[in-house]
Amino acid sequence: MRTYDFSPLFRSTIGFDRLFDLAEAAHRAGEDHYPPYNIERLAEDRYQIVLAIAGFAPDEISVTAEQNVLTVEGVKVDKAAREYLYQGISTRRFKRQFSLADYVEVKSAAFDNGLLRIELAREVPEAMKPRRIAINAASSNSPRQLESVAA
């Protein structure tokens, strides 16, 4: 197992704390592969997460977005006790979290044929978008008077 020491970067960077925390959390995270999922880029600022959650009903799934974390939880409510000879479809409880970048918002969620599709979009506020600054040119034809001394 590899370990990374970010302390040299802490000495020379400002404001990247969240990035280092995400890297450390990803390194510490267990390898839970349930439920399987895909993350797709649909356009420059549009994304889609697709989770395969066969056996769950829409009312047994909750999708929550708060701060920069998207959480998908599933709790299977077994209405009747069943006796399985073989159970290959996993319906265990799950909690999957996705870290979202700044200004990424959840637009919609849809459940169809055992797939949960979550649409995301990055919408940067106008105040944060790059803008062109006009440069005023000084007129070089007329000399500027720096000081005036009354005689």
- How many Cα atoms are found within 13 Å in the side-chain-facing hemisphere of 40? 11
What fold characterizes domain 33-127? Immunoglobulin-like (2.60.40)
Helix, strand, coil abundance in the chain, percent, nearest 5: 15, 30, 50
Output the pLDDT for position 2.
63
What pLDDT does 126 receive? 79
Reported as type and span, the H/E element at residue 19 is: helix 17-28
Q: How far apart are alpha carbons 63 and 57 in whole angstroms?
A: 13
pLDDT of residue 42: 94
Task: Reduce the DSSP state of residue 44 to 3 states and report it.
Answer: coil
- pLDDT tens per residue across all 151 residues of the chain: 566 666 676 666 666 666 766 666 666 655 667 899 999 999 999 999 999 998 888 999 999 999 889 999 999 877 777 888 888 887 889 999 998 988 899 999 999 999 999 999 998 887 777 888 888 887 666 666 666 666 6
CB < 8 Å & 24+ apart, contacts of 117-120? 117/48, 117/49, 117/50, 118/48, 118/49, 118/50, 118/51, 118/63, 118/70, 118/72, 119/46, 119/47, 119/48, 120/46, 120/47, 120/48, 120/49, 120/70
Task: Determine contact, residues 35/61, Cβ cutoff 8 Å.
Answer: no
> What pLDDT score does 18 carry?
67
The residue ranges of every structural domain in the chain are: 33-127
pLDDT at 64 (0 to 100):
95
